[in-house]
Structure 1
Amino acid sequence: MTLIFAHRGSAGTHPENTMMAFREAARVGAEGIEMDVQLSKDGEVVVIHDEKLDRTTGVSGFVKDRTLKELQTLNAASSYAGKGCEERIPTLDGLLKWLYHTHLFCIIELKNTFFMYPGLEAKVIRLIRAYEMEERIIISSFNHYSLVFCHQLAPEIETAPLYREFMYMPWVYARAIGGSAIHPSIRSAPDSIIQSSMDDGILVRPYTVNKEEDMKRLFKLGCSAIITDFPEKAKIVRANYEK
């Protein structure tokens, strides 16, 4: 069965990367969630996608320039303010504490291509180990040097390179850097690449799969998983396809 991962939680229907969105993903029956982490000014691992705060909080500046205490005064659901949402920026510690009591798998994307965030890898791995969730976590990033470092620090935790453009034999590349999966853009994931990767033992989880026709194609192919903003929609499409 193709697993469904909720991209930044149920980001198509709820404020992205908030506990509200993650709880919704669990409610609708997704098998996993995907989220993004950066470091605050005082070195805390926080769950937020953009390096800039503007889009999701309505406040200018960078995540890295504010302490955790300052970040948690902001409304992470600012873009949903018209619906009366008030959500804090989660910490990875708090999210894992909640996740521990669920069935969910989790993709943690390290947002360290624009700012390197020295120490991010070790802090994320330390938290994963603290909650004994090595078997349910996948670390992913567009920074493949960072993934190699993660594999060196914690070979027991799955890693998966993210990429946007077409890559030649990505299953070979993934294995070469210690990965056991690939996370390609849906635009760079034709059937032949997906099938060849899975035939070689490399899992494939394309992002961001929101169109019904793409969902049907991947379910038919038996793709390892999809990453989608609309986990409830994906569940319905998958259920209908499996009938």
Structure 2
Amino acid sequence: MNERTGTSTHQRWWRWVTLPVLLLSLYACGSSGAPEKGVVLKKQARKVSLIAHRGASGQAPENTLAAVKKALDTSCDYIEIDVHQSKDGQVVVIHDPTVDRTTTGTGRVADLTLAQLQALDAGIKHDSAFAGERIPTLAQVLRTVKGKKKLLIELKKGQEEYYQGLEENTLKTIRENRAEEWCVLQSFHDPILERIWKTDFVIPTHKLMLGKIPFLPIYIDHELKFGGFDRYSEATAINIHRYFASKAFISSLHNQGFKTFIYTENKPQNIVRLFELGADGVMTDYPELIKRP
């Protein structure tokens, strides 16, 4: 093989590997489209979990108390939320590192105090009926849920650098609200998980990723990584994008001792199918469409 051919082969291989990254990085937490009519889950021989993604975010503004309250009225087992940290060190519930998409404000969460963040309207962009909804703190969500559902908390990275103290402040808030038994922490970012594992943690953790490239020792979280999953032995689950949710990959995760929650699927029949493939949990924006027998 000459140098020219080798370069061409390498370029083709790299494009093949990075194509899913480029596509899924745009839609990593995206939903699977508009919902269909609801379904009743069949009785399962094993425990499966339905997770309300950012609360019942199809009905109410994502990551707000309104979405959390609507999720509490559904058959979901978990409510999933995202947390960032304000300029004054408060753990706040919002998905993006900036407030631009979901609120009436602009700027980075890390550059705004809690008072500035809660002065913004986090509901009106979803629907005028939710005008006046605010960015809640983690503590406010914990006091709203009160153990009626489990809470799956995703710790996010700041836009440019990691938040200093986010892990410790999240754990402290959970302890202060006596919520250790019904909270689970997850993240795409290994340094966040590693900082949690170095504490005296008793709260389960999940590793978030997009998925694994078939037949290669390559997986994708927020970037391409090489190797196996031994480094995540402290995690109880590895949660993956629906694009990678094959029966073979789910079985492989189970054989390595991990459970897996799949994100984010909004079509009820597809949710049923994911459970049939072996998923332990499925995240959806429309938990109200899934009924228990």
Quick check: TM above 0.5? yes
Q: Deviations over 1:5-35 (max 9, x none)?
A: 1000011121000011001111012111000
Higher helix share: 1
- Counterpart pick for 1:205 among 253, 261, 264: 261
Whole-angstrom CA distance in 1 between matches of 2:209 and 2:232: 15
Q: What residue is the counterpart of 2:287 in the other structure?
A: 231
Deviation at 1:84, TM superposition (A): 4.7
Correspondence 1:61-76 to 2 at 5 A:
61-76=107-122
Deviation at 1:82, TM superposition (A): 3.0
Correspondence 1:36-55 to 2 at 5 A:
36-55=82-101
CA RMSD of aligned residues (A): 2.1
Q: What residue is the counterpart of 2:14 in the other structure?
A: none
**SS of equivalent to 2:96:** coil
Q: Which structure would you say has the larger Rg?
A: 2
**SS of equivalent to 1:203:** coil
Q: What residue is the counterpart of 2:148 in the other structure?
A: 103
- Counterpart pick for 2:75 among 29, 36, 48: 29
- Counterpart pick for 1:163 among 195, 209, 221: 209
Q: Name which structure has the greater RCO, CA cutoff 8 Å, separation 6+.
A: 2
Deviation at 1:81, TM superposition (A): 4.0
Q: Deviations over 1:66-93 (max 9, x none)?
A: 1111111111113124335320110011
**SS of equivalent to 1:121:** helix
Unaligned runs of 5+ in 2: 1-46, 220-227
Deviation at 1:64, TM superposition (A): 1.1
Q: Does 2:252 align with 1:196?
A: yes
Whole-angstrom CA distance in 2 between matches of 1:199 and 1:219: 17
Q: Deviations over 1:187-242 (max 9, x none)?
A: 12211111232244311101112123421212223421111111011x23xx4xx6
Deviation at 1:52, TM superposition (A): 1.2
Unaligned runs of 5+ in 1: none
Whole-angstrom CA distance in 2 between matches of 1:113 and 1:64: 7
- Counterpart pick for 2:64 among 18, 21, 45: 18
Q: What residue is the counterpart of 1:112 in the other structure?
A: 157
Correspondence 1:79-228 to 2 at 5 A:
79-100=125-146, 102-112=147-157, 114=159, 115-166=161-212, 168=217, 173=229, 176-228=232-284
Deviation at 1:59, TM superposition (A): 1.5
Q: Is the Cα–Cα contact under 8 Å of residues 5 and 226 in structure 1 kept in the other structure?
A: yes
**SS of equivalent to 1:145:** helix
Q: Is the Cα–Cα contact under 8 Å of residues 109 and 141 in structure 1 kept in the other structure?
A: yes
Whole-angstrom CA distance in 2 between matches of 1:200 and 1:166: 14
Number of residue pairs the alignment of both structures matches: 236
Whole-angstrom CA distance in 2 between matches of 1:203 and 1:156: 18
Whole-angstrom CA distance in 2 between matches of 1:140 and 1:28: 22
Q: Could you state the TM-score of these two structures normalised by the residue count of structure 2?
A: 0.75
Deviation at 1:126, TM superposition (A): 0.9
Deviation at 1:169, TM superposition (A): 9.3
Q: What residue is the counterpart of 1:56 in the other structure?
A: 102
Whole-angstrom CA distance in 1 between matches of 2:258 and 2:100: 37
Deviation at 1:42, TM superposition (A): 0.7
Identical counterparts, % of pairs? 35
Change in 2 beyond 3 A, CA 1:64/1:113: closer
**SS of equivalent to 2:263:** coil
